[in-house]
Amino acid sequence: MEPPSIVNDLASIIQTSLAPVFLLAGTAGFVNVYATRLGRVSDRVNEIGEKDERGPSRRLQLDYLRRRTLALEIAVALGTLAAICTGCAILNLLAGALEFRFREQNLFWLFGGAIVSLIGSLIAFLFEMVIAGRNMLRQMRMDQAVSERSEESP
């Protein structure tokens, strides 16, 4: 006994619209990582702001954190745009499956926009990671130089 055609049609609609949901879930995971890192940068800025220390060291740290913040804000914005485009593509697929106004060009632009935005957000995140890594290496060199100087002086 074969299921009624309406059941097959509904199953097809659900399958078609569920595939992009995985892209949406993955994008949400990336945006969560970006937002968490942005929160940590914000905490670090607040920590530096609470100290009474002034001078070139503080200015250098704030400049570094400003660059990281900018990269992460771009990553969050592009990741959110990717999620919006994916959601709109899902709605477009559902509308097409339900025989409402459906234009294939919409899918191309929405999925294309989602993928391009996601790639852009990953590039911005890569930029932020490079900034953080370079600063960590710089800090390690500075700490090593200080410890070498303290070992030399009696």
Phi, psi dihedral angles at 53 (to 5 degrees)? -65, 135
Tell me what percent of the residues of the chain surpass a pLDDT of 70: 90
Mean pLDDT of the chain: 85
Two structure tokens written together for 50: 């609470």
Q: How many residues does the chain have?
A: 154
Residue 76: C-alpha distances to residues 119, 148, 152 (Å): 12, 41, 47
DSSP 16: H
Neighbours of 135 (CB within 10 A): 16
pLDDT single digits (tens) 60-102: 888 999 999 999 999 999 999 999 999 888 888 777 656 666 6
